[in-house]
Amino acid sequence: MKVLHFFKTYWPDTFGGVERTIHAIAQSTAAHGVETEVLSLSRAPDKNTKRLDGHMARKAKLDFELASTGFSREVFRKFGALAKQADLVHYHFPWPIMDMVHFQSHHGKPALLTYHSDIVKQRLVLPFYRPLMMRFLADVDAIVATSPNYLESSSVLRAFKAKSQVIPIGIDEGAYPSPSEADNGWCGSVVPKPFVLFVGVLRYYKGLNVLIRAASQARCKIVIAGSGPVERELKQQAEALRCDNVLFVGEVAEPRKMALLRNCHGLVFPSNQRSEAYGLSLVEAAMCGKPMISCEIGTGTSYVNRAGQTGLVVPPSNPAKLAEAINRLIDSPVEAVSWGRAARDRYLRLFTAERMGRSYAELYRQLEGRNH
């Protein structure tokens, strides 16, 4: 069975959460006889069209970007040709150009859509896009939400509840490297224990400015691993507030990231806006058996991290509550270990790539059968 995935960006151009999810779906459905191709936009389509880990990453020329949306004239033709060869089309929402491409192509193949996030940042353009968006969502055969929390809290998804189902994003433990002695040594020399860890792209909705404000009341080091658009202002903020317990270690290679995860007291994930629909870093922490701290924003973060079971969930944008939660992790090691154990159990039960692949393969077969 041939499945065409369609999203604005993909490896090797970019490595964000949606891209990692598409990659994990491609890998985990291969065991069920699914052959994957991914179409996305690229500034260098010839160079970046390549075979990746057993599936094809196809590219169309990116002409320009506006309000986080990539535009391409070539993508209409390329999508039409690839959809013709596919048995099923798998869209990844949101990306308004995708809706136009879908209707222009008249591909007639079964189609499903993974709903990664509401449109949060581009609220001003939403009234203009909404009619097309609702028509597109009504036209696909099935919609997948990544958590029951998001399905309940998204007013857009609620309108399509009858054809929606939940498939949590899963990750494959085997795809993560084990940290070497040198990686653990680096971690020990750079980061004094005890510490809590944030890992991810430094974006506006990650709530890191709140974490920095919480730092003065936290009784441990706070390690921020990653780079991104708000990095400079976060460093300036930490300097202005004289937060000598906040440590920016920049973007780290995977083995070092794993060393940080294995050695931290817990993961702190202060995202405070609905743009954070899930939080793959939380799943990675759960995989490593670490307790978590996240904020209640009505999204999948509170599905991955269950309050009082796998860690603590605090109100968003509240530095005092965030510092209190960090201190509780540090001061209650027995409780923290038991949360970490429960997080690991929850990962094995709900968040493996194998489980995700099985669920998607099953849905693909249902949709293919329905259209014959």
pLDDT of residue 369: 84
Name residue, tokens 């993909």. 10
Average pLDDT score over residue span 319-328: 98
The 10s digit of each residue's pLDDT in 27-55 is 999 999 999 999 999 999 999 999 999 99
pLDDT bin (cut points 50, 70, 90) of residue 313 is: very high
pLDDT digits (tens, 9 = 90+) for 260-273: 999 999 999 999 99
**pLDDT tens-digit map of 159-202:** 999 999 999 999 999 999 999 999 999 999 999 889 999 999 99
pTM of the model: 0.92
- Both 272 and 286 in one domain: the answer is yes
pLDDT of residue 129: 85
- Pairing between strand 69-71 and 64-66? antiparallel
Distances (CA, A) of 44 to 13, 24, 58, 81, 213: 9, 24, 11, 20, 41
Domains: count for the chain: 2
Burial (CB count within 10 angstroms: exposed 0-12, middle 13-18, buried 19+), residue 178? exposed
Q: Are residues 163 and 280 in the same domain?
A: no
pLDDT band at 21 (very low <50, low <70, confident <90, very high): very high
Token digits of residue 42: 């690229």
**Do 165 and 242 sit in the same domain of this protein?**
no
Band (pLDDT 50/70/90 cuts) for residue 372 is very low
Strands (E), the chain: 2-6, 35-42, 50-52, 55-61, 64-66, 69-71, 88-93, 111-115, 142-145, 164-166, 195-199, 221-225, 246-250, 266-269, 292-295, 311-314
| 239 plus 329 within the same structural domain | yes
What is the band of 123 on the pLDDT scale with cuts at 50, 70, 90?
low
Q: Would you place residue 294 in the very low, low, confident or very high pLDDT band (cuts 50, 70, 90)?
A: very high
Nearest to 22 by CA among 300, 358, 356: 356
The whole-number average pLDDT for the span 150-156 is 94
Residues 168 and 25 in one domain: yes
Give the range among 63-72, 123-132, 140-149, 318-327 with minimum mean pLDDT: 123-132
Contacts of residue 182, Cβ cutoff 8 Å, sequence gap at least 6: none
Residue 15's pLDDT is what? Answer: 81
User: How far is 176 from 325, CA to CA, in rounded Å?
Assistant: 28
Q: 342 with 365, same domain?
A: no
Question: How high does pLDDT run on average in the chain?
Answer: 95
Residue 31: domain span: 2-172+352-370
Predicted pLDDT at 307: 97
Residue with tokens 């743009």: 275
C-alpha 43 chain-centroid distance: 23
Same domain, 271 and 364: no
Rounded to an integer, what distance in angstroms lies between the CA atom of residue 116 and that of residue 145?
A: 7
Q: Enter the tokens of residue 336.
A: 């923290």
Q: Tell whether 294 and 252 lie within a shared domain.
A: yes
β-bridge mates for residue 222, sequence order = 196, 246
Q: Taking 70 as the threshold, does the pLDDT of residue 85 lie above it?
A: yes
Q: Please state the rounded mean pLDDT for residues 223-234.
A: 96
Same domain, 162 and 147: yes
What's the confidence (pLDDT) of residue 342?
98
- 112, 178: one domain: no
Rounded to 5 degrees, φ, ψ at 350 are -120, -25
Note whether 192 and 267 are same-domain residues: yes
Confidence at 124, pLDDT banded by 50, 70, 90: low
Provide the CATH number for the domain around residue 52. 3.40.50.2000
Helix (H, G, I), strand (E, B) or coil at 292: strand
Do 181 and 247 sit in the same domain of this protein? yes
